[in-house]
Amino acid sequence: MTLHDPQVCMRQMRDHAKEVIELTRAKTRESFQADRILTLAVVHLLEILGEAANRMPTEQRAKYPQIPWQQIIGLRHRLIHAYDQVDLDIVWNIVTQHLPALVRTLDEVL
């Protein structure tokens, strides 16, 4: 197994979360769903965010219990493996309700 730098993993998580927030900033739930390219981009960025979380060494994850590691990694698995069942209401809720808090938390620990 390749060892990954925890700081790099967390910076990647933060940067991809910020990118999602920026892409969706002026959007409504309806305009988000109507824009296929945007929804694909957001889902892909969330997959990458989850992969960066998954690469974080387990012992390092334990140092940051304020980060919802299992939920982030679980979302990545869901988006990758159940790609034909992605619920955009859930994705929108994550983007608007959970990502801003995650970015703040990652900024604090970085």
pLDDT at position 1: 45
Q: Which residues of 41-52 are buried (b: 16+ CB within 10 A; e: fewer)?
A: ebbebbbbbbbb
pLDDT at position 2: 58
- pLDDT of 2-30, one tens digit each? 578 999 999 999 999 999 999 999 999 99
For the question of residue 81 being annotated catalytic, the response is yes
In this prediction the pTM is: 0.94
Which of the residues 44, 81, 98, 104 is marked catalytic?
81
- pLDDT of 62-90, one tens digit each? 999 999 999 999 999 999 999 999 999 99
- pLDDT of 31-66, one tens digit each? 999 999 999 999 999 999 999 999 999 999 999 999
Which of the residues 14, 16, 55, 76 is marked catalytic?
76
Domain layout of the chain by residue ranges: 6-109
